[in-house]
Amino acid sequence: MSETFQVRAAERGDVGTILAMIRELAEYEELTHLCTATEDQLAAELFGPDAAAEALVAVAGGEAVGYAIFFHNFSTFLGRRGLYLEDLYVRPSHRHQGCGRALLLAVARIAAERRCARFEWMALDWNTPAIDFYEKLGATQMREWRLFRATGDALDALAKLK
């Protein structure tokens, strides 16, 4: 049975639930060893004076059952900012009911309202349900691009190079 839900801007009181869902996502992606965020960190980054990101939550029956976290990036080629979707997650009990679609479309609308040049996100290459979902909505996979990352000790070493 499909339950009704609403998508709204996250509030400070949602931080604990959002963090719990982030941990659920990390478990699904088999990346729990990388999930070190705390409630205080998440609250500061979403609601602090120098907030780095924004969040939406999908609520059903008075409970947050999904979330989207996003932030602005910038395209030098287009000379305009874009919107990057860091996470889109819906609890398994609420999947296949339109909740993920509603969250994704809500972020897309924010990007359009803010006149962003593009809206981007990533999916793990083995996550075919997500890839199929995104492609069904008209998103294009950027196969020619490769993500590079430096974290922890590697980031510290890179920052010290002369």
pLDDT value at residue 2: 52
Indicate whether 27 belongs to any domain.
Answer: yes
CB 56, CB 68: distance < 8 Å: yes
Give the total number of structural domains in the chain: 1
Question: What is the domain-level CATH number for residue 68?
Answer: 3.40.630.30
* Angle CA 148–152–157, to nearest 5: 80
pTM: 0.93
Residue 4 pLDDT level (bands cut at 50, 70, 90): confident
Q: What is the average pLDDT across 126-153? A: 93
Q: What is the average pLDDT across 88-115? A: 96
pLDDT value at residue 1: 41
**What is the spatial distance between Cα 130 and Cα 52, in angstroms, rounded to a whole number?**
25
Q: What is the pLDDT of residues 114-139, one digit of tens each?
A: 999 999 999 999 999 999 999 999 99
CA dihedral (128, 34, 72, 149) positive or negative: negative
Q: What is the pLDDT of residues 50-99, one digit of tens each?
A: 999 999 999 999 999 999 999 999 999 999 999 999 999 999 999 999 99
pLDDT value at residue 93: 94
Q: Which of 67, 84, 89, 134 is catalytic?
A: 134
How many Cα atoms within 13 Å fall on the side-chain side of residue 30? 3
Q: What is the average pLDDT across 9-17? A: 98
pLDDT value at residue 3: 64
134 is catalytic: yes
Range of the structural domain that residue 118 is part of? 6-160
Indicate whether 1 belongs to any domain.
Answer: no
Indicate whether 19 belongs to any domain.
Answer: yes
